[in-house]
Amino acid sequence: MNSNIFICELSKENQDKIKKSVLKYLIKEGYNINQIKETLTSVMENRLWLVEEIIDINQLKV
């Protein structure tokens, strides 16, 4: 099940985990540095984003 969430509402620890997971995914998929920066900015700057296409949000629960 996919969930839309506001990344900014998560703990700093979970925000960091998401950022790392997204970064690893983008590198693995062959994105260039500009695409990576743009995507990470989009993900982390309070935008509603479908994170479960890249990471399993349940793994982040503390």
Query: Given the structure tokens 């994170």, which residue do they identify?
Result: 51
Q: What is the mean pLDDT of residues 17-22?
A: 88
Residue 32 has pLDDT above 90, yes or no: yes
How do residues 46-57 score in pLDDT, each as one tens digit?
A: 655 566 666 666
* Alpha carbons 46 and 10: distance in angstroms, whole number: 10
**pLDDT reported for residue 62:** 47
Q: What is the mean pLDDT of residues 19-33?
A: 92
